[in-house]
Chains A and B, each alone.
Chain A
Amino acid sequence: MLYDLNIVWSPGTPAADLERTLKFAKNLGYDVVALNHIIAGPIPTQPTPIPNPIPQLTPPHPSYPGGASTSTSSSSSTTNPSTTASTSLPPLSKSSSSSALPTTLRRATLVITDPSITNYRLPDYARAYDLLALRPTSDKSFAWACTSTSEAPALISLDLASHLGWHVHHRAAMAAVQRGVRFEICYSQALTPQGGVDGMRQRVNFIGNVQALIRATKGRGVVISSEARGVLGLRAPADVVNLMAVWGLGPEKGFAALGEGARAVVVNEGVKRRGFRGVVDIVRPAEGGEEVRRGDGEGEGEGGDGGKAGKKQKQQQKQQGQKRRNEGGGGGGSQQGEVSKRQAKKMKKEGSQAKA
């Protein structure tokens, strides 16, 4: 599984072009791509649930809410609030288009100049989009994005084609990696420069910045993506890895940055959005759930007298391997099966002594 977590999307992108790009990405071997909405400028305070304008072209990724079940109902459960999404879907038959398209995620990149005014909106953006990336443009905002955001963004995506104007220090970079932030290298920034002297400078800047970033992180916590603005911005994975190998990121690390590293970002963010505080998650309901529920109902109804019913319930629970000893134990507390751990240990010890 190879990932490309950055394909540029804007509200003006024609659906046909987007589809071509996605199909080509799939053809080159990328299985999961993220459509990237770059939000520059001051962040508006007004719309309280931030709308997500990016269309959901495919069923969500398995690690995101609604993506685990492959049925068609899953896509409807995670509809985005905007109404334009459904209309901008390409009028292709569902089965053929979904097999040709890679799994798409929806990602936002916030360009950050002044960290103090954006911080409180970050969780809202994280909720609205599948992935949240930050693009700091100054020394101060870079340090803020690395170490002191309220919750760590998924990616830090620097504009490597411009002159950064500050050094990426090892300590700050590794602190960010320790928090779970990944640094993104977008190779298409170097591939499609505007002509002339400016274009040449862009490529020079890009190579220099990539090497600085690789040196600062020692190749750890780096994710490679394209930031392709069209079909021709994409390259095959092996070609990309070779480019990075020329610029100092070893081929093994390069492939990890396209595969496992990017997957870690996606799965991590998915769990954050799916589970309770990213910690507790329902993997799947236990088997035989119907029976247990019935048993519980009985227990509630006849829990008071605790005679035969209690016993029966207990046996049922034991069969299902559940440890709910205390629940119906009011009536039938002294049963044969009820042996405390200490008692059992004692008996075992005695038995072994007797044998010896």
Chain B
Amino acid sequence: MVRLKDRYLLVNIIYTDVPPGQAKGGAVPDLLLYNQPTTSELRPQLLLKGIRSEVAALFGDCGAGAIDRSLQVKYLSPATSTFILRISRAHYRLVWAALAFMSRVPVRDGRPCVFRVVRVSGTVRKVEEEAVRRARLLVLAAKDEMAGNRGSSAADALGALLRSDSSSQARSVAVPGGQVDSEPEAESQGLSSDDG
């Protein structure tokens, strides 16, 4: 039995400015500035619509048709500005490229932001674990930031996490067909190719 193979993308929405309503009194710490909550107007349908239209703008009807059936929002958390997408494995790069080209939250008068793909995986379980891990680290780092001790361990851990993510992603992205990798981070790649 042939299975449909998917990729799951864990995406963060990063903001770079304070929301327009708030006063610019005190300086916001960088950590909290980048990880602001998204407006609750952002529904999964709106997100899908935004991504679809961006794919259509970049890749035309051909690309939009390719991802039309398989694109799905598995999880959307406006509080942590995180969402998980599911796309077929053959076309996940199209969606990823479209995310790189989106510069606003896809709602009416959306704020400018950057969509950052932090994890690509073959199974939804690994992506969920990663999302939970990141959220926990973020909370710890934010607590430290509020406590006022800069350069403390949790903030360093988060920095190290972001760094190692980009490098481990390098490795897992570099494996196009999902070959088994010895790295534990790239386990998901192996999982997806096991039962093919």
Contact B166 A191 (CB under 8 A): no
The reply to whether the CB of A39 lies closer than 8 angstroms to some CB of chain B is no
Residue of A nearest to B163 (CB): A29
Task: Please indicate the chain A residues that have their CB under 8 angstroms from the CB of B106 in the complex.
Answer: none
Q: A40 at the A/B interface (Cβ < 8 Å)? A: no
> B100 to A239, Cβ gap below 8 A?
yes
Query: Which chain A residue has the least Cβ–Cβ distance from B173?
Result: A251
Q: Which residues of B contact A15 (CB under 8 A)?
A: none
Instruction: List the A side residues contacting B101 at CB < 8 Å.
Output: 190-191
Question: Contact partner of A234 among B93, B114, B162, CB < 8 A?
Answer: B114
> Considering the complex, which residues of chain A in the window 301-336 have a beta carbon less than 8 Å from any beta carbon of chain B?
none
The answer to whether A246 touches B170, judged by C-beta atoms less than 8 angstroms apart, is no
Taking CB atoms, residues of chain B closer than 8 Å to A236 are 114, 116-118, 166
* B174 pairs with A242, CB closer than 8 A: no
A106 and B41 CA atoms in complex are apart in Å by 43
- How far is A28 from B118 in the complex, measured between Cα atoms in Å? 11
* Number of A-B contacts defined by CB within 8 Å: 72
Q: Are A27 and B162 in contact (CB under 8 A)?
A: yes
B16 touches A231 (CB 8 A): yes
**Contacts known (A239-B116, A246-B93); A192 close to B103, Cβ less than 8 A:** yes
Tell me how far the C-beta of A61 lies from the nearest C-beta in chain B, rounded to whole angstroms.
Answer: 19
Cross-chain contact B114 with A242 (CB below 8 angstroms) = no
A142 at interface (Cβ–Cβ under 8 A)?
A: no
A241 interfacial by beta-carbon distance below 8 Å: yes
* Nearest CB of chain A from residue B101's CB, rounded to whole Å: 6
A24 near B16 (CB under 8 angstroms)?
yes
Within A215-274, the residues touching B (CB, 8 Å) are: 231-232, 234-243, 245-246, 251-252, 255
Chain A residues near B131 (CB, 8 Å)? none
Does B94 touch A at the CB level, under 8 Å?
yes
Q: Considering the chains assembled together, what is the distance between the CA atoms of A236 and B167 in angstroms?
A: 12
A23 at the interface (CB under 8 A from B): yes
Using known A-B contacts A27-B30, A99-B151, determine if residue A239 contacts B162 with beta carbons closer than 8 Å. no
Contacts of B163 in A (CB 8 A): 29
A20 within 8 A of B: yes
Q: How far apart sit A23 and B151, CA to CA, in the bound complex (Å)? A: 15
Given the known inter-chain contacts A20-B16, A29-B162, A236-B166, please indicate yes or no for A242 contacting B173, CB distance below 8 A. Answer: yes
Tell me which residues across on chain B come within 8 A of A68, comparing CB atoms.
none
- A100 beta carbon closer than 8 Å to chain B: yes
Q: A191-B103, A240-B100 are in contact. Are A235 and B169 (CB under 8 A)?
A: no
- Given contacts A24-B16, A100-B30, A191-B100, are A235 and B114 in contact (CB under 8 A)? yes
Contact B176 A251 (CB under 8 A): yes
Question: Is there a chain A Cβ closer than 8 Å to B133's Cβ?
Answer: no
For the complex, would chain A's binding face be called helix, strand, loop or mixed by DSSP majority?
A: helix
B166 touches A235 (CB 8 A): no
Q: Which residues of the partner chain A approach B30 to less than 8 Å between Cβ atoms?
A: 23, 27, 100
Residues of B within 8 A of A231 (CB): 16-17
A2 at the interface (CB under 8 A from B): yes
Residues of A within 8 A of B93 (CB): 242, 245-246
Q: How large is the interface on B (under 10, 10 to 19, 20 to 34, 35 or more residues)?
A: 20 to 34
Q: Which residues of chain B are within 8 angstroms of A192 by Cβ–Cβ distance? A: 103
The answer to whether A255 touches B100, judged by C-beta atoms less than 8 angstroms apart, is no
Q: Which residue of A lies closest to B112 (CB)?
A: A232
The A-contacting residues of B in range 80-107, CB under 8 angstroms, are 93-94, 96-97, 99-101, 103
**In the complex, which residues of chain B have a beta carbon less than 8 angstroms from the beta carbon of A20?**
16
Q: Is A96 at the interface (CB under 8 A from chain B)?
A: yes
How close is B62's CB to chain A, nearest CB, in angstroms? 13
Taken residue by residue from 103 to 146, chain B's Cβ proximity to chain A (1 for < 8 Å, 0 otherwise) reads as 10000000010111110000000000000000000000000000
**Contact bitstring A266-286, B, C-beta under 8 A = 1, else 0:** 000000000000000000000
Bound CA–CA A278/B100 (angstroms): 39
Q: B185 → chain A, closest Cβ, in Å?
A: 13
Closest A residue by C-beta to B175:
A251
B150 within 8 A of A: yes
B99 contacts across to A, CB distance below 8 A: 239
Determine whether the beta carbon of A232 is less than 8 Å from that of B16.
yes
30 CB contacts below 8 A, A to B, read A2-B166, A20-B16, A24-B16, A27-B30, A27-B162, A29-B162, A29-B163, A100-B30, A190-B101, A191-B101, A191-B103, A232-B16, A232-B103, A232-B114, A237-B166, A237-B170, A238-B117, A239-B115, A239-B116, A240-B100, A241-B173, A242-B93, A242-B96, A242-B97, A242-B100, A243-B100, A246-B94, A246-B97, A251-B173, A255-B174
16 A-B pairs besides A235-B100, A236-B116, A251-B170 with CB distance below 8 A are: A28-B116, A29-B162, A29-B163, A99-B151, A100-B30, A232-B103, A232-B114, A236-B166, A238-B170, A238-B173, A242-B96, A242-B173, A246-B93, A251-B173, A251-B176, A255-B174
Task: Point out residues on A near B: beta carbons under 8 Å.
Answer: 2, 20, 23-24, 27-29, 96, 99-100, 190-192, 231-232, 234-243, 245-246, 251-252, 255
